[in-house]
Amino acid sequence: MEESLKQSSVYAEQAMEFIVDYAPNLIGGLITLFIGLGVIRWMTNALVKQLKKREVEPTLIPFIGNLVNLSLKVLLIVSVAGIIGIQTTSFIAALGAAGLAVGMALQGSLANFAGGVLILVLRPFKVGSVIQAQGYTGTVEKILTFVTVLKTFDNQVIYIPNGPLAGSAIQNLNQEETRRVDMTFGIGYGDSIDEAKKAFKEVLDSIPQILPEPKPMIVLSELGDSSVNFAVRPWVKTEDYWDVYFEVHEKVKKVLDQKGISIPFPQRDVHLHQVQ
């Protein structure tokens, strides 16, 4: 009985010594934990508000908020453990090794994820934009975390990984309200340059979708091998681009035919010699 009381007394003394030694650290750690959680909550809410104010893609905002919140909490727990006196070196090393292993295994997916984040934040295009990228041209149907869904003009659906897409040139064809329609037409060397210019101007004046300003350009651009080439460049609203492009080509052919102006095309002369 006496021996049991002595052991209890020893344990009580050790417990008191532990409390005296670690109580300040423990209290400091708990205070840091509660204050840190409050600061993290405030920072996360502030970040979400800023993302909404900048009109970041709505589907991305909760993900970014949760990712930042979780990362800050991990750092807070490691800091609190260090304040209390727990050795965190091995824990940090294990966490780093695990992160490296996961990163290596998901290298391609992480690149696509990062590309998706960049696209959603920087917004080089949006849903409904007509873009040309990675060898494809079409309308953006969806912008997902890992891929962008593109529908081509012949109704094919293309899934483009966001990593290569974000790291390459992207041509946004309908971001601006107006576009210039660049076309080249050739006439024969024996035809009148002035008459050809009048014919091109007549065509452009007959199409109401062509904007008066900026003024359409009709210039002789090149003396080719078999034709005199003109650059015809009117401005139109973006949604009228293809309608005007096709209509100008059709009317130019008809008007040049009416005026007797030739449109050169490749020809080959074949000479037959009779062998005696």
Please answer whether residues 238 and 179 qualify as being in contact, where contact means their C-beta atoms are separated by less than 8 angstroms. Answer: yes
Q: In CATH terms, is domain 123-172 a member of 3.40.50.1950?
A: no
pLDDT at position 164 over 70: yes
Each residue of 70-127: pLDDT tens digit?
A: 778 878 777 777 777 666 666 666 666 666 665 555 455 677 777 887 887 778 888 8
**Which part of the chain has CATH 2.30.30.60?**
123-172
pLDDT at position 217 over 80: yes
% pLDDT > 90, the chain? 27
DSSP the chain: -HHHHHHHHHHHHHHHHHHHHHHHHHHHHHHHHHHHHHHHHHHHHHHHHHHHHTT--TTTHHHHHHHHHHHHHHHHHHHHHHHHT---HHHHHHHHHHHHHHHHHTHHHHHHHHHHHHHHHH-SS-TT-EEEETTEEEEEEEE-SSEEEEEETTS-EEEEEHHHHHTS--EESSSSSEEE--EEEEE-TTS-HHHHHHHHHHHHHT-TTB-SSSPPEEEEEEE-SS-EEEEEE-EEEGGGHHHHHHHHHHHHHHHHHHTT----------------
Q: In CATH terms, is domain 2-105 a member of 3.30.700.30?
A: no
**Which part of the chain has CATH 3.30.70.100?**
178-258
pLDDT value at residue 92: 65
**Which part of the chain has CATH 1.10.287.1260?**
2-105
CA atoms within 13 A on the CB side of 248: 26
Kindly report the CATH class assigned to 178-258.
Answer: alpha beta
